[in-house]
Structure 1
């Protein structure tokens, strides 16, 4: 939830916006860090916004809007003519958003933004997103409206093919670079929702796995640290999945598959904590299953993962958490006390230990016999019992 501040807020977080862009004066930040984090997005419209001041308005009925042409290199500000009679959009924000300019471009209302989906805070005024996207059954009839949008691709290449045709953003008020940032967050979130569907099974034959979510998924998309996630059987044999050495060593063969890169777009340039600048890097649960002891070694950039058992038996959240906690304790050489059994334990200390352990072939003495013995004592701990209450009737992972 947003912090309680009077006046404008930072475009990148929910703190007070005490700084403005020195060039365009159209967006506020709480700090230099947030301003720098936003620069890759803001620079697309910063300079051109200075050419759309009030003195450039040709009519008092014009409002400033943002156009995302599908064939242009970047989005651009534009003027939207006065509101027409007989507005078609039923909203108190009324007629500017239903302006003839958008309709002449063959667009329809795609969404009405009244909050920022990344910052989870309401907007001062509604923003209307007009889109030329057509339903799949009509795309062959209107191919021009289903071209990849190059100007959206200038923000993130992953979004170019998702947002097809041109886009138009407008409202009853003059849009600013701050509104542009809200729109970018919306475009990214919609692309994220599509990306997570890629992991959904395409057939009826599935196996129960567990999705281990990174900090971006938990803090921005409000997902739990872990959740049951059914995957298609084909994932178990997919050459693009990662085989878990940890699973092999404890006698529970596991494979993992990362959420597509587009699944990290909502928090692409957000900061989490003093050392972590990319929320996708903050998923030690996932990296324990996938990144340590991989052959060949891969870049250490974990994100949200779906983990499943190769033997096609169900993987329960309780078992996934047990493996995670076991690895943490063997890595640190001591027992970890959890206030929240589903929380992240001492991330700073875990981070330091994890980084030093990336090239440690010993993996802290992990073995099947050791895990079996550890599991029998772990199951008696209070937080283990709390997990068991959520999945009643689930015993040892070796007895599934």
Structure 2
């Protein structure tokens, strides 16, 4: 299964949509703000020729909903603030590229563009009829996988990606035996009971994908350009550590209760493997050094509660932690599960998953690990 065919966040703005259930991802974006601002300052301060006429900026894996344009807004704000601080004219034109897979809900982004431009004008203190020193922003959608070329050679100054690079380009090969039976029985992802060959297959697929990602960006970015990447990862070298795989473990347990009741075939569970991988920094560093086009400027690891981000919601909230976590995960993975298991079990599956999560969190506060890494394109 290739993710380009089956992976997309839930579309629209209903109660199971990504737009309404992406507070965790918003929290992660907020954690990367300082790294993003620092990267923008470094790009502008290291530029020898002013004024810069054009800057190419890409948000890879932008998805949809309120988070998508908030990232771009913060980048534009950082550019204008830095230019003002340096007493220099801001870049005349900002080419802002929003990238995600072909199945992404780009219409949601397009519908928000008028309010985006209005807010930008208000923040910069000008209106449609003013002459101003701010940048002109040109927003474009660029559909396609970031595990390959997306942009012209040396057209990008800054690349941002949040909550995306833990998604693989495809399910790893080698997860079936010679008869085509799943080797990772009763599981959806790496777990403590997974055979060693499963762990190796996932690790190799991530290395292949991340190397391809770096190679593609190295051709598209200018010398001295910067990337800020954040994604789910782990601090431990152990790929089966609870911080990086236990949500998938609980989802598998919920599915297996449906198997026991005859609502899902066990072989269906055995044959599903999530195209997902949470690396540790050592794995990232090895691939970065091997590819050779970038050097690491900084890296951080943050512990995040499974139900974090709820404080960003407006209005009252009566959901349990289990229900909140279930809605967040459903908005992200439902498209893949529906493709494999059918839509008819989704409501029941995530109701059961919510109960499993609630029970788990009542006993221990397992955390997610989010890695943030800032890279510089070598000269």
Tell whether the structures are fold-level matches, with TM greater than 0.5. Answer: no
TM-score by length of 1: 0.27
Under a length normalisation based on structure 2, what TM-score does the superposition of the two structures give? 0.28
Greater relative contact order: 1 or 2 (C-alpha under 8 angstroms, separation 6 or more)? 2
The structure where helix makes up a greater share of residues is 2
Which of the two has higher C-alpha Rg?
1
